[in-house]
Amino acid sequence: MSTVRVSPETRLKLHKLAGLLQTWKGKSVSLDEAIRYLLSQSEKDMKIFPYADYRLNFECDEKVFLCFLKEVFRLFNVKEVFLSFTTLLSPISENERKSVDVRLMEILRKVNVPFEVDDDGLDVQSEIKVDKLIELLKKIKESFDWSNETPPISVESKNIKLTINDWGCLHIDPVKELSDEEQKELVKIFLEIHGFGKNTIRYVLDELPRDFAIVVRPIKDFGLLLEVNGNVISLEEVK
């Protein structure tokens, strides 16, 4: 991990951590070993971290998910989409679903999105402007426990199909295979919205393998640790 990119401030923190580990272990500890220690502590948390891979699966920090979604639409020049979902697929019981349907109908009426409802649940099949979609998703997030009450949502245009399986969790299915440059642009957007600097992003894109998997790990008191295919690339503070 000798190529790990760190700022002078972060390097100083790592030196202090290495000193503490040296006292604890009774032997010399390198900066690489200090980073490995931080990584091992992060892995113990068993949290879902921001993630991106070459299959175009993206898991964003929930605070920046809508920003990422907007940038994806901008990249593919999408102004209008076909929105599709049914509460029949919500991960809840039938009685719970009826309550969800009532609350969801109120939101859909406010945003002026047409829907149908019957004994099988609420169904939406509608063309919708991107701005209105963003507004709708925001209102659903504010009103529901997304992971436990909301069904998968499909959003389709002539260029791409997006599946939102959970808040922050997005799969992109392009009509035609993306070029390397288009994939890199998606990675660039993903890294930018999670707070990485231009130099780090440029370094990642220059070295990005075809079959990539990227993980972003927030490290308390240090910032964000960036992994590509299991290799630590950078540890930097987010301004």
Identify the band that residue 1 occupies on the pLDDT scale cut at 50, 70 and 90: very low
What share of the chain has pLDDT > 70, as a percent? 88
Per domain, the residue ranges of the chain are 5-51+179-236, 76-174
Q: Determine the Cα–Cα distance for residues 168 and 145; give it in Å rounded to an integer.
A: 13
- Find, among 7, 10, 9, the residue nearest to 219 by Cα: 10
Higher pLDDT, 28 or 211: 211
Tokens 């010399």: give the residue: 28
CB contact set of 67 (below 8 Å; sequence gap of 6+)? 193
Confidence band (pLDDT; 50, 70, 90) for 43?
Answer: low
Residue 214 has pLDDT above 80, yes or no: yes
Q: What mean pLDDT is predicted for residues 183-196? A: 96
Task: List the structure tokens of 170.
Answer: 């997005």
Q: Is pLDDT at 154 greater than 70 in this prediction?
A: yes
Q: Describe the crossing of helices 130-143 and 94-111 by its angle, rounded to 10 degrees.
A: 140
How far apart (Å, rounded) are the C-alpha atoms in residues 106 and 91?
20
| 76-174 is classed CATH 3.30.70 | yes
Flag whether pLDDT at 75 surpasses 70: yes
pLDDT-derived band at 239, boundaries 50, 70, 90: low
